[in-house]
A and B are shown apart, each in its own frame.
Chain A
Amino acid sequence: MRTPQGDPAPDDAELVGRVKTGDRAAYRELLRRHGPGIHRYAERLVRDPAEAEDVVQETFLRLWLRAKDYDPVARVTTWLFRITHNLAVDRLRKRGRSAFTEDPDMEPGPISVNPPALLEGKQRAEALTAALDTLPPRQASALSLVHLHGMTGAEAAAVLEVSEEALESLLSRGRRALKAQLAGSFASDAGGTP
């Protein structure tokens, strides 16, 4: 990636280093790069638009005030998602929802997708979101971090503070549950193409 002047764009870690010195342009660039993903992840966790916005604001406030806490051993994305994750879990606890301490074998709720539709575009994304919402939060988070936010297993495990083995288990169970939820909408079930 290059800047409009043709210089190589600074990487995330370099930008965080500049935020430490009060560089607002570096802060805005990190916001541009990661704001939408962080927002999506916060929404996935707290499932309340206003509260998700508060979590995102707190995350970026921490980036601004606590950039010195960033350890370059981890990717900036992992660090930011970890902050978001902790803030969201704190809020869920205050709300009285033990979202991340649920029975690991808990089965998802009833299906909310309209089978056997071959959904397209926005409808398809909404159906997926509805199906993800029925999963236990840790499974949904694991799937979201790996598939939507492009994290490696090790990075997602670091965000969720679990071992890679535990992450694989969350992913497997999440995928199995999603398949069950979306079964009627799968193209292979309807004889069409996805």
Chain B
Amino acid sequence: MTTLTEDRFRKLAEAYGSELERWPGAERRAARELILMRPELRAVLRAEAELDAWLDSARVEPLPASLLERLEAVPQNAPQPFPWRARSLLTPAVGWAFAAAFGLWLGARADALDVDLGNEDTVEGSAGADDAELIELASGDLAAFEELP
């Protein structure tokens, strides 16, 4: 059980006033018990009651009509909240990203195919013959040079 000294009781009354409901929850019960044991402490609360009555007289007025109108228009005039805005931005972005990724995949795939084909050409195709002619040139066979197209 939380115990409360008279000094702490007075400090709480000076800060939160005469209504125990406003006091910190952890010390409220202890305050009630202390009052039961020390009824003279009610005078401490009474001393704060008048200011509380003053503070209670402060009322929250309804919003001015023009301000209410402005505030009600906020959702119409502002962008959509993040998830909706993100969705509207992301939908085309995802489409483009997918198209780009597909393009890259196709490109990579085509490159891979070219490499395979090139290797086959080197072994069996006409490019192999061209290489042989160049080798002859490099070795100084001018007759072979004249025969080049």
Binding site for B on A (CB under 8 A): 19-22, 24, 27-28, 31, 35-37, 39-40, 53, 56-57, 60-61, 64-68, 121, 124-125, 128-129, 132, 143-144, 146-149, 152-154, 164, 167-169, 171-172, 175-176, 178-179, 182, 186-188, 194
Apart from A22-B80, A179-B51, A194-B53, list 8 A-B contacts with CB within 8 A.
Answer: A40-B60, A56-B67, A61-B78, A64-B74, A148-B60, A149-B60, A175-B17, A178-B51
Residues of A within 8 A of B53 (CB): 194
Residues of A within 8 A of B149 (CB): none
Interface of B is mostly: helix
User: Which of A31, A65, A169 makes the CB contact (< 8 A) with B72?
Assistant: A31
The answer on a CB contact under 8 Å between A152 and B54 is no
The answer on a CB contact under 8 Å between A143 and B84 is no
The answer on a CB contact under 8 Å between A31 and B71 is yes
Nearest Cβ in chain B — how far from A38, in angstroms?
A: 9
Residues of A within 8 A of B51 (CB): 175, 178-179, 182
A171 to B52, CA, bound (A): 12
Nearest Cβ in chain A — how far from B83, in angstroms?
A: 7
The answer on a CB contact under 8 Å between A24 and B75 is yes
At the interface with chain A, which of B8-16, B31-39, B99-107, B124-132?
Answer: B8-16
Known: A146-B16, A188-B50. A64 touches B81 (CB 8 A): yes
Residues of B within 8 A of A124 (CB): 54, 57
The answer on a CB contact under 8 Å between A68 and B81 is yes
The answer on a CB contact under 8 Å between A19 and B60 is no
User: Which of A65, A188, A194 makes the CB contact (< 8 A) with B81?
Assistant: A65
Residues of A within 8 A of B79 (CB): 65
The answer on a CB contact under 8 Å between A22 and B72 is no
Interface residues of B in 23-63 (CB under 8 A from A): 23-25, 48, 50-63
